[in-house]
Structure 1
Amino acid sequence: MRYARWLYISLLLGLASLPARADFRVFACEPEWTVLAQQLMPDAQLTTATSYLQDPHYIEARPSLISAVRTADLVVCTGASLEAGWLPTLLQRAANPGVQPGKPGLFYAADHARLHVPHDHVDRSMGDVHPEGNPHMHLAPDELPKVARALAERMGDLRPEAAADIMARYIKWRGQWNQMRANWQRQAAELQGHSVIIQHTNFSYLLRWLGVEATIDLEPKPGLPPSSSHLSKLLTEPGLASADVILIASHQNPKPAEWLAQRTRKPVIVVPGTVTNEPPTDTLAGLISTIINHLEEQITEASDGSL
Structure 2
Amino acid sequence: KPEWQSLAQTLGGDKIDSFSATTAFQDPHHIEARPSLIVKARHADIIFCTGADLEIGWLPLLLTKSANPLIQSNQPGYFMASDQVELIEKPSRVDRSQGDVHAAGNPHVHWDPYRVLKIAEAFSSRLQTIDSVNSRYYQQRLVDFTSTWQAAINTWESQASTLKNKRVIVYHKNWSYLLNWLQIDVIADLEPKPGVPPSSAHLTSLLELVRGNSDVDSILIANYQNDRGAKWLSKKSGIAVIDLPFAVGGNKNSDDLISLYNDVVLKLKNEL
What TM bracket, shorter-length normalisation? over 0.9
- 1:231 is the counterpart of 2:178: no
CA contact (8 A) 1:98 1:105 kept: yes
Q: Alignment partner for residue 145 of structure 1, among 95, 105, 117? A: 117
**Deviation digits for residues 146-193 of structure 1 (CA, Å, limit 9, x no counterpart):** 000000000110000111111111110110111111112212321101
Give the drift of 1:51: 0.7
State the number of aligned residues: 270
- 1:36 is the counterpart of 2:2: no
When normalised by structure 2's length, the TM-score is 0.96
Give the drift of 1:100: 0.6
Residue identity opposite 1:229 in structure 2: A
Tell me which residue corresponds to 1:287. Answer: 260
SS of 1:76's partner is: strand
Give the Cα separation in 1 of the matches to 2:34 and 2:213.
42
- 1:244 is the counterpart of 2:217: yes
Which structure exhibits the higher relative contact order, with contacts defined as CA atoms closer than 8 Å and separated by 6 or more residues? 2
- 1:270 is the counterpart of 2:256: no
Residue identity opposite 1:91 in structure 2: L
Identity %: 43
Structure 2 residues not aligned, in runs of 5+: none
Give the drift of 1:277: 7.3
CA contact (8 A) 2:24 2:250 kept: no
Give the Cα separation in 1 of the matches to 2:162 and 2:195.
31
SS of 2:153's partner is: helix
Q: Alignment partner for residue 118 of structure 1, among 90, 93, 107? A: 90
How is 1:133-282 mapped onto 2 (pairs within 5 angstroms)? Answer: 133-237=105-209, 240-276=213-249, 280-282=253-255
Tell me which residue corresponds to 1:4. Answer: none
Give the Cα separation in 2 of the matches to 1:118 and 1:277.
27
CA contact (8 A) 1:80 1:132 kept: yes
**Deviation digits for residues 25-63 of structure 1 (CA, Å, limit 9, x no counterpart):** xxxxx1111000100112222221111100011111110
Give the Cα separation in 2 of the matches to 1:252 and 1:240.
25
Tell me which residue corresponds to 2:103. Answer: 131
Give the drift of 1:278: 6.0
Residue identity opposite 1:282 in structure 2: D
Give the drift of 1:119: 2.3
Give the Cα separation in 2 of the matches to 1:144 and 1:79.
14
- Say what the alpha-carbon RMSD is for the aligned residues: 1.3
Moved segments of 4+, more than 2 Å:
238-241, 277-280
Give the Cα separation in 2 of the matches to 1:240 and 1:222.
24
SS of 1:269's partner is: strand
CA contact (8 A) 1:215 1:240 kept: no
Give the drift of 1:98: 1.1
In structure 2, the CA distance between the partners of 1:240 and 1:128, relative to structure 1 (3 Å rule), is: farther
SS of 2:79's partner is: strand
When normalised by structure 1's length, the TM-score is 0.85
SS of 2:168's partner is: strand
Give the drift of 1:265: 1.1
CA contact (8 A) 2:42 2:67 kept: yes
Select between 151-160 and 265-274 the one with higher mean Cα deviation. Answer: 265-274
Structure 1 residues not aligned, in runs of 5+: 1-29, 300-307
